[in-house]
Chain A
Amino acid sequence: MSDERLERELRALFDENAPVTAPASLHQHVAELARRAPAVRSRRPLLSLVAVLGTIAVVAAFVEIALLTLPRQGPIPGSPAPVPPSPTMRAAPPPSASPAPAPSPTPVPTAASSWSFRLASPGTLTPVTGADGSAYLATSPGGPKGQGKVYALDAAGHVKPGWPFAPAGVAAFGTPAVATDGTVYALGWAYGKSAAEAAGTNAATLWALDPAGRVKAGWPQPVAGSVFMGDGGGLAVRPDGGVIYVEGTTKGGSSAYRAVALDADGRPAAGWPVSLPGGPLCAVPCSIGTVGPDGVWYALIQLGRGPGAEIVALRPDGTPVAGWPVQVPGGEGFTLGGDGTIYAWGFDTNGAQPPSGVPKIVRTRFVEVDPDGRLRSGWPVTLDGPVSIPALGPDGTLYATAGGEAGQVERVVGLARDGTERAGWPYTLRSDLTAYPYSPTEGMPARATGPSVGPDGTVYLPVYRTGQLGSAAQALLAIAPSGRVAVGWPVWLPAGARFGFVGEFTIGGGGQLVQPAFGADGTIYVPVDLASTTAGVVMAVEPSGHAPSGWPLAAPAGSSGPSHVIALRLVPEEDLILTTVADFGNSAIVSRVATP
């Protein structure tokens, strides 16, 4: 079929399927909104005050909600009572499979943040913190006139003197990396440079800034060709205070990749750059290369265009570690354990390429590799079908959700250090519970969201009642290390609530749930969106399945539309750093909130 005919058919199809008028209910709703105007007007004094008080107003806008009371202690407001413990959850009375009841108003106080910082454009907003408690975040408004900036906020949330860093002509910055001496590395690049323009002219530049926001001597340094960015910014800090990144160049249709290491003074580190056999790979969340405590840099590299992949390990002097690289066929990602063990996983698609172009995952392989490059005994472990990105328990157990296709999770597996199934595992999900599917890797089919593991080894998994996503039946499941549902769990979200997603208001994200944060006492913090408020809410649940006093809390919100918490992280003082997008994706708020 020609392009013209395809477009013609498409237009005809749209014309045939577009309804002529909107339903009467919507017209009635507009009339109702118009009648509601006086009620809106009555709030104006409060909103005027909001405008005057600036950032404080973001909190104040929800004072009306905060006037309502919260139970001092107990399950999540609006949720059913915790169910008795049961290894198979059979004893737990499931919530009604009938349509969810209308959400009842759920009082949610706004978090009393120690500070909040509002940005007009979200850009790259995962803040990183330095040893002195400063938070660094980069903004990338995009567009030909966009000006990328790097902000440094002190422990009180104020922009530090000398910041933001905003060099002319830089449209975007990746997430910064902070060295132990406070040096801030930031990769920035100009907007809209074509490959031809970029060739030899350094479209990207790497800066090193001191804590006062000044460019350090020897910097900036140009980046030759494409630079690879991950969610973590694509920069790995070396033990000597320098930095490593991967750059790629294309010439005559073939690409070449190399790892570049610079010392703290901007000079090429001895023995570097090192040519790589291919481009780096990573899943979501992604970081390009990881530096271990011994200074070895690890990266997962794709070999050619096929499924071949290997993990390279380079010493600080650029030489490969004996025994490496290690082959990881179909490699998607890896993580570095505290003892230097590398955990990696990959997929086998059997070469199947359906017409849609999305390959089918027929099996998933996990490997554990000792620091000397030897495959640990009992590995690899191969599981049928797609398996989630794994989570690492405190004792080195690998946990992942596995099962059928399209996110139909059947079980949570727990693989012990010797590659065998941990005693009491796998945990089999009841058939009417489903884990969230998402696409962690572009071009790969949706798989289940993986679990998260708390500091005590409890495995958490967000689930919903099969077939009722979007209604009331969403819950957080906690599985004890024994493989049984933890006492007091699952915790069901209030009616109409849903878990928070990374990709709110943004293109992409693949439907990835926001990673929860864990307090030292095992309390889990999870972003949720409630039906009763447009503010992004953080839910806290203690290991007992109860909400700590005063929780959940609404994060500081925007001035219009719903707000969503898209990232949260616990800082050493047990405060939460929240990133909230608001105003239909046009603004973002970074705030610091104390935990109980």
Chain B
Amino acid sequence: MRVGSEEAMAFNGKARDAARDRAGDTFAKSLERALDSQFRLAVLILGDRDEAEDALHDALEAAWRARNGLREPERFDAWFGRIVTNTCRDRARRRRRGPVAVADLPDREAPDELAGLPDRYLLHRGLRELDVDHRTVLVLRYYADLSVDDIATRTGVRAGTVKSRLHYGLRALRAALEAGSRREREGEVSR
């Protein structure tokens, strides 16, 4: 009986392992499917492809370790999206702990792809000057087209806070555009 029990346990263990293998494959496929869209979000939130790649790497690791905590597989996208958002935020904050990067963008040279688009350039610059929390809600709202409630879920804050950040973020961008336009008129910015 004793041997039989051990055999039964071994068999059950193999069955569990096989089930886990299948679950792992399914999970990996979900990650693979979500990778491109989440990378795009990370690039926009962090404003830097290398940083975004590192953030996604960390997020993949974190998601893989936490995969047993995913209770509703049909909500994988939101679950993984939250991990990516949190990872980006952590990364940005660590980066922010350095001296404030006031020279991230050139003062007198617009990026090539934005040449001829002063508003776009100033907007880009304004986004870089926003903190990561405000930039994140703007990306989730105007790129990912998430609702305020979905952004609240994704970022772990109240809907009112999301609205406030959207409002403040847009206001700051408008201020950056206006200030840039003033400087432009005064000849401080050339294109």
Contact = CB atoms under 8 A, between A and B. Distances in A.
Interface of A: 1, 3, 6-7, 9-23, 25-27, 29-31, 33-34, 36-38, 40-41, 44, 142-143, 355-357, 406-408, 434, 436-438, 445-446, 464, 466-467, 469-470, 498, 501, 503-505, 507, 511, 534, 559-562, 583-585
Interface string B85-129: 010001001111111101000000000010000011001100101
A10 B142 contact: yes
B31 A14 contact: no
B62 A561 contact: yes
Interface string B59-90: 01110111001000000000000110010001
Leading 5 A-B pairs by shortest Cβ distance: A560-B66, A22-B39, A34-B28, A355-B179, A37-B24
B49 interface: yes
A492 to B, nearest CB: 17
Given A3-B170, A18-B44, A22-B36, A33 B60 contact: yes
29 contacts: A1-B119, A6-B174, A7-B142, A10-B173, A11-B143, A18-B40, A23-B49, A26-B53, A26-B60, A30-B60, A34-B28, A37-B20, A38-B21, A41-B21, A355-B175, A356-B175, A406-B99, A406-B100, A407-B100, A434-B99, A436-B97, A437-B99, A438-B97, A470-B95, A498-B94, A507-B156, A507-B161, A583-B66, A584-B62
Most chain B beta-carbon contacts within 10 A, residue among A6, A33, A503, A511: A33
B178 interface: yes
Given A41-B20, A407-B100, A583-B66, 16 more contacts: A9-B120, A19-B49, A25-B57, A31-B28, A37-B24, A40-B24, A408-B99, A469-B94, A469-B98, A470-B94, A501-B93, A505-B90, A511-B97, A559-B69, A561-B83, A583-B69
B43 interface: yes
Nearest to B57: A29
Q: What does DSSP make chain B's interface, helix, strand, loop or mixed?
A: helix
Nearest to B119: A9
Nearest to B23: A37
A561 B66 contact: yes
Contacts of A6: 170, 173-174, 177
Contacts of A355: 175-176, 178-179
Contact of A34 (B25, B57, B142, B158): B25
B150 interface: no
B172 interface: yes
A533 to B, nearest CB: 12
A445 B131 CA distance: 12
Contacts of A13: 120, 123-124, 127
B102 A406 contact: yes
A7 B170 CA distance: 8
Nearest to A10: B142
B17 interface: yes
B44 to A, nearest CB: 6
Interface string B162-191: 000000001011111111000000000000
A26 B93 CA distance: 22
B32 A30 contact: yes
Contacts of B66: 560-561, 583-584
Nearest to B26: A34
Nearest to A12: B120
A470 B90 CA distance: 12
Contacts of A34: 24-25, 28
A517 B90 CA distance: 24
B56 interface: yes
A25 B94 CA distance: 23
B43 A504 contact: no
Contacts of A562: 62
A584 B82 contact: yes
A1 B177 contact: yes
B90 A19 contact: no
Contacts, number: 168
A494 to B, nearest CB: 16
B148 interface: no
B97 A17 contact: no
B35 interface: yes
Given A10-B138, A41-B17, A407-B99, A20 B93 contact: no
A18 B43 contact: yes
A33 B25 CA distance: 10
Given A14-B44, A21-B39, A561-B62, A584 B83 contact: yes
Contacts of A37: 20-21, 24-25
A354 to B, nearest CB: 8
Contact of A585 (B20, B142, B156, B172): B156
A585 B161 CA distance: 17
Contacts of A27: 32, 35
Interface string B28-58: 1001100110111101100001000100110
Contacts of B36: 20-22
A22 B37 CA distance: 8
Contacts of B8: none
Contacts of A3: 170
Contacts of B10: none
B151 interface: no
B93 A25 contact: no
A505 B155 CA distance: 10
B124 A437 contact: no
B100 to A, nearest CB: 4
B57 A26 contact: yes
Given A25-B53, A27-B32, A30-B31, A19 B20 contact: no
B156 to A, nearest CB: 6
Given A30-B28, A30-B60, A437 B100 contact: yes
Nearest to A562: B62
A217 to B, nearest CB: 36
B7 to A, nearest CB: 18
A434 B44 CA distance: 29
Contacts of B124: 13, 17
Most chain B beta-carbon contacts within 10 A, residue among A7, A11, A13, A437: A13
Contacts of B161: 507
A11 B142 contact: yes
A560 B56 contact: no
A521 B38 CA distance: 50
Contacts of B170: 3, 6-7
Given A11-B143, A14-B143, A498-B94, A356 B172 contact: yes
Contacts of B57: 25-26, 29
B93 to A, nearest CB: 6
A356 B93 CA distance: 20
B15 interface: no
A504 B82 CA distance: 15
Contacts of B90: 504-505
Nearest to B145: A11
A18 B38 CA distance: 10
A511 B43 CA distance: 22
B80 to A, nearest CB: 11
B182 to A, nearest CB: 8
